Amino acid sequence: MHLVSTIGLQVALVVGFAAGSLTIGMSGMSGMNGGGGSSTLAGMQFPDERANPPANPPSISPDVAPEGAMLKEASRTIDTLVDAMIAKQPGLKPQPKTRDEQFLRRIYLDLAGRIPTIDEAGEFLTSHKRDKRDLLVKKLLSSEANVSTMFTWWADMLRARSRLQDRFDGQPYIDWIKQSIRENKPYNKMVNELICAKGPATSRGNGATGYYLADAGMPQDNMANTVRVFLGTRLSCAQCHDHPFDKWTRKDFFQMAAFTEGTEVKTNEGDISRAMKKASSNVPYSADQIARRVGETLGVQVTNASVGSIALPHDYQYKDAHPGDRVKAMTMFKDDIIKDAKDNIRESYGSWMTSEVNPRFTLVVANRMWKRLMRIGLIEPLDKMEDDTVPTNPELATYLVKLMKDVKYDLRKFQEVICDTNAYQRQSIPGDANRFKFFHEGQPLRRLSAEQVWDSLMTLTIDNVDGVKGEGAEPLYKFYDGNKDKSPEQLASIVMKAGEAQDEIDDMNKELRDLRDKMAKGDKSVDGKIKELEGKQTALRPAADVFTPYYESGYKDPGPMRRASELPSPMQPGHFLRVFGQSNRLIIDNSSDSMNLTQALELMNGMVETTILGDEKSVLKQQLAKVKDPDDKVKVLYVAILSRMPTNYEMDYGHKVMALAPNKKGVEYLGWALINSAEFAFNQ
C-alpha cells in the first residue's frame, strides 16, 4: 500500500480576472440562473428531455449502424438540405464538381493528412471504376494514415502533449488516443472514458487518465476545458465572476466543478524520498530528481474521490450564497443527476456528458466533424454556443445531430457520409468566403495545416511514410508492470543506485567544462582526457536511467524524418512544424494557418533542398531516377508534388527550364518552385 502525497497547490489563476479590466455589475444579469435548464439553440428542435440520463455509460450495441445504402441516403439528404439553403440566397450558385485530380489531392489531405504518393495518385487517376471516389474514401478512412491525421485533430482538442504539465509522460495518453482511433472506438465511448478515467496512468491501456494529468492541480480549468471541448460553451469567464455575455453564473461554474471535486492527480515520490532518507544518510544528490521521475511515471494516478459537492471560494461575491458554502454538483443546464450520495459521481457526470439526450454533446461533435471536412462550421466559432446561436442551416444541423446518433457516434461512418456528398466534392470558391454566413456552395480555400505541409514533405522524402513510428509508451508500461508491486524501500534502493551513477556523470561535467574551455582557447592536449571522460559518461548512462531495462531492444530510432503524429507533441519552437503554426497544445485548438516570412525562409532555404532535392535517397529523387527523358521528369515532378499532370503550357515551360537551367539544375529549379508554389501551399 503506497501512501501518496498530494500534488502541489493550484496555480494562482485568479490574479487576472477579478482585478481585470471588466467591472461587471449585477444589473444585466438578474435572474440568470439558467432559466429552467433550457438550452435549445435557436431554430433547432430538440426533444425536451429532463428525464434521467442513463445511469451506466452508454453501451455499444452489436446492432450495426446503417448499412451502405442508408449512408448513401444520408449523403443525399445532406445535399438536399445544403442545396435548398443555397437556392434561398439570391445570386448564389453551387460550384461545379471537382475534377479527379482536385478531388484526389483534397481527399488525401483531409483523410490521410498528406498528399498522395505517385503510385497512389496514379492508381486513382487511371482507374475507370465509376465508384472510385467512394472506394477511395472508404480506403482512406480505415488506413493508418487516417490515424495520423485524426490524432492531430484529437491532440489539438485535448492538448495531448508528450509532457503534460511539464511533469508527466504523455506518451500513454497519446498512444491511447491513437489506438482508440485505430479501433474506430465510437466518439461517445471515447469521451466517456476520458471523463471517467482513473487509476494508474502508466498502466497499459489506461492512457485516458492523461485527460486529468493535462490539467493536474487545476481541476477547475479542467472542467472549463471539458465544457468547451464537448459542450461547445465557454464557461471560463464564470470562474471568477458571472459570465459577462452568456447566461452562466459563478455559482453555475462551481456546481459544475463539483462533479470533479475530489478527483486528483497524485504521485508517490514523497514516499520514495522518505524511504531513501531512512535508508541512508548519504543520499546521492541526483536521487531526488530521479525519485520524482519515478513518482511521476510509476506512481502517478488519478483518484476517484469525487464527493459531489464543492465549497464556494473565499471571494465569492454574489448575494445568493456565502463564501465557503457547500453547493451540490449540478449540471449547467440544471439537471440534478446525482440522486444518491452513494452514486458514482464521475460516472454519472460522464454519462450525462455523453448522453444522446444531452442537448449540446451531439451537436458539438457533429459541428466539429462538419467543420473538419467542410472547413467552416454550421456554428462558428465551434465552442462559444449560446442560447441564441443560430446555425447557418438549422435543418441541416438538426439532421446532422440525428445522423450522428444513427451511426452511433462512429466518426468514420459520419465522415464517409460527408465525403460522399456533392457539397463536399464541389470545387473551391474563387473569391472570399464569408466565414459567418456561409452556405457551402463550394469549398473555401485553406492553407495547408502545419502537419499537412510537413507530412506532405515527408511523403516526398521517406519510404513507407505511414509506417515509420516513434517508440510509443511500451517501455513505460513495462516499467510499470515490473515495478508496481515494489515497496517504497525497494524503489528507494533502485533510485539511489541510479542517483549514484548520475552524480558521477555530473561530477565529470564540471571537469569537462574546464577542459572544453581550454580546448576552445587552443590547448589541444586536453583532447584525450575529454574523450576519456566522455567515454566514461556514456558507459554510466544506462545505469543512471531507471528505464534502461525496459527499452525495446529491437527498436531503432528512425530519426527526425517522420510524420508529425510520430514526433514529440508538439515540436519545439523553431522546428518546421511550429514555424508553420502547429499548436503548442497548451491552449485548445490553437494551431494557426497564418502566413509569415519565416515559413517562406524555411521552404526556400531549409530542408527542402538538403533532404528532398539534394539527397539521392529521397523518395522524390528515386522516382526521378527511374525516368530519363526530361519531359518525363517534369511529369514526375508535377504528379509527385501537385498530384496532377502538367498542363500543355506548364509542360512547355518545364521543358524549357530543363533544357536551359545552368549546371543541369532543371530538376532543382522546378522541384523547388513547385514545392514553394501557392498551389502546393493551399488545399483547394
Partner 1 sequence: MRPIANRLDELSRRRFMASVAKTAFGVSLVPLFGQGLLEAGNPTDPAKEAVPPAPKRKKAASRCIYLFMAGGMSHIDTFDPKPGTKVQGPLKAISTKADGVQLGELMTLTAAQMKCATLIRSVSSNQGAHEQASYFMRTSYAPINTTRHPSMSAWSNYFLAKPNETLPGGIMINGGGDHPGSGFLESKFAPLPVGDPSRGVTNIHPPEGVDLKEMGNRLDVLETLNQKFYKSYNLGAMQGHHDMYFDAVKLMASKDIEAFDIKKETDAVHARYGEHTFGRGCLLARRLVEKGVRFIDITHGGWDTHDDNFNRLKETAGQLDQGLSALLEDLGQRGLLNDTLVCVVSEFGRSPEINQRNGRDHFPKAFSAMLAGGGLKGGNVYGSTNAEGTEVAENKVEIPDLNATIAYGLGLPLDKVVISPDGRPFTLAKKGKPVVDLFTA
Residues within window 121-160 making contact with partner 1, judged by CB under 8 A: 159
Binding residues for partner 1, total number by CB under 8 A: 82
CA atoms of 101 and 104, how far apart (whole Å): 5
- Please provide the DSSP assignment of 150-198 as one string: HHHHHHHHHT--SEETTTEE-HHHHHHHHHHHHTT--HHHHHHHHHT--
Residue 650 touches partner 1, criterion: CB under 8 A: yes
Residues 52-91 close enough to bind partner 1 by CB under 8 A = none
- For residue 645, report the phi and psi dihedrals to the nearest 5 degrees: -80, 155
Contact segment (CB under 8 A) with partner 1 among 98-106, 107-115, 309-317, 585-593 equals: 585-593
C-alpha distances (whole Å) from 131 to each of 62, 142, 148 are 29, 17, 26
Select 22 or 87, whichever has its Cβ closest to partner 1: 22
Q: Considering only residues 189, 204, 384, 635, which one is a binding residue for partner 1 as defined by CB under 8 A?
A: 384
Residue 573 touches partner 1, criterion: CB under 8 A: yes
Report the relative pairing of strands 168-169 and 163-164 from DSSP bridges: antiparallel
Q: Considering only residues 85, 195, 411, 657, which one is a binding residue for partner 1 as defined by CB under 8 A?
A: 657
Select 88 or 435, whichever has its Cβ closest to partner 1: 435
Helix (H, G, I), strand (E, B) or coil at 581: coil
Residue 597 touches partner 1, criterion: CB under 8 A: yes
Select 126 or 663, whichever has its Cβ closest to partner 1: 663
Chain-centroid distance of CA 75 in Å reads: 27
Q: Which three cell numbers stand for residue 535?
A: 567515454
Q: CB of 182: closest distance to partner 1 in angstroms? A: 28
Q: CB of 486: closest distance to partner 1 in angstroms? A: 29
Residue 18 touches partner 1, criterion: CB under 8 A: no
Residue 16 touches partner 1, criterion: CB under 8 A: yes
Select 432 or 616, whichever has its Cβ closest to partner 1: 432
Residue 604 touches partner 1, criterion: CB under 8 A: yes
CA atoms of 267 and 258, how far apart (whole Å): 22
Residue 13 touches partner 1, criterion: CB under 8 A: yes
Q: Considering only residues 280, 434, 610, 622, which one is a binding residue for partner 1 as defined by CB under 8 A?
A: 610
Residues 161-190 close enough to bind partner 1 by CB under 8 A = 166
Residue 22 touches partner 1, criterion: CB under 8 A: yes
Long-range contacts of 291-294 (CB under 8 A, 24+ apart): 291/491, 291/492, 291/495, 292/267, 293/546, 294/269, 294/483, 294/491, 294/494, 294/495, 294/546
Centre a 10 Å sphere on the Cβ of residue 203 and count the other Cβ atoms it contains.
17
Residue 670 touches partner 1, criterion: CB under 8 A: yes
Q: CB of 351: closest distance to partner 1 in angstroms? A: 25
Select 128 or 510, whichever has its Cβ closest to partner 1: 510
Residues 430-469 close enough to bind partner 1 by CB under 8 A = 430-432, 435, 444-447
- Please provide the DSSP assignment of 310-343 as one string: EEPPTT---TTS-TT-EEE---TT------STTS
Residue 627 touches partner 1, criterion: CB under 8 A: no
The answer to whether 34 and 248 have CB atoms below 8 angstroms apart is: yes
Cα dihedral value 615, 619, 623, 625, nearest 10:
20
Residues 393-422 close enough to bind partner 1 by CB under 8 A = none
Residues 198-237 close enough to bind partner 1 by CB under 8 A = 215, 218, 221, 224-225, 228, 234, 236-237
Residue 593 touches partner 1, criterion: CB under 8 A: yes
